[in-house]
Amino acid sequence: MDFSIPVVYENQLHGFIVSGQMVSEDMHIPNLREQTSGQTDSQAFKYFRSAPQYRYEEIMSASRVLNTLTACYFPYA
């Protein structure tokens, strides 16, 4: 899973800060319904399982911190 925070400066969207590369099996976050090639490729699945796992609350907290930091550097004018 990844999440992104928009970078807005002077009412113009300049891009996004992307963060993530984590796994969550929390029921608050929907999983993909269809099987992907990553689930059948043993090498890809090994890398998937090596990614850090976080709870929903931890992911939301990290996204709020990143959003606050972004707003400090790029105030919504």
Following DSSP, what letter does each residue of 19-70 receive, concatenated? EE--B---TTSPPPSS--HHHH-HHHHHHHHHS-B--HHHHHHHHHHHHHHH
**pLDDT reported for residue 77:** 47
Q: pLDDT tens, 16-73?
A: 888 877 777 766 666 655 566 656 677 877 877 788 888 888 888 888 898 888 888 7
Domain extents for the chain? 2-73
Give pTM, 2 decimals. 0.59
Give the strand pairing for 2-9 and 12-20.
antiparallel
Q: Could you tell me the pLDDT band of residue 10, with boundaries at 50, 70 and 90?
A: confident
